[in-house]
Structure 1
Amino acid sequence: MLNSKPVIAALSAAGLSLAALPAMGQNVHISRLYEQVLENIEYTKPGFYLDSFGVIRLNEGGKTRIELDVPTNTAVEIMGDCDEDCIDLDLGIYNGAGKLLGEDRLEDYYPIVSFVSEEDGRIALELDLVDCDAAYCYTAYSVFVEGTE
Structure 2
Amino acid sequence: MIKTFAAAALAFAGLVGPAAAQNARGPALVAVQLDAVITEMGLTPGARVTGRLAHGRSQLANIEAPGGQVYFLGVCDENCRDFDLIVRDSSGRELGRDDEPNDATYVSLEGATAGLYTLEVSMADCTGECHWGVGVFR
TM class by shorter-chain length?
A: 0.7 to 0.9
Instruction: Structure 1: state its 5+ residue gaps.
Output: 1-26
- Other-structure match for 1:60: 55
Secondary structure at 1:51 match in 2: strand
Secondary structure at 1:41 match in 2: helix
Match of 1:124 among 111, 118, 125: 118
Length-normalised TM-score, structure 2: 0.75
Q: Is the 8 A contact 1:90 1:105 kept in 2?
A: yes
More helix by share: 2
Instruction: Structure 2: state its 5+ residue gaps.
Output: 1-23
Q: Is the 8 A contact 2:88 2:119 kept in 1?
A: yes
Identity %: 25
Task: Count the aligned residue pairs.
Answer: 115
Say whether 1:96 aligns with 2:90: yes
User: Comparing 115-124 with 27-36, which one deviates more in the overlay?
Assistant: 115-124
- Other-structure match for 1:70: 65
Say whether 1:135 aligns with 2:128: yes
More strand by share: 2
Length-normalised TM-score, structure 1: 0.70
CA distance in structure 1 between the partners assigned to 2:114 and 2:38 by the alignment: 26
Secondary structure at 1:28 match in 2: coil
- The CA RMSD over aligned residues, in Å, is 1.9
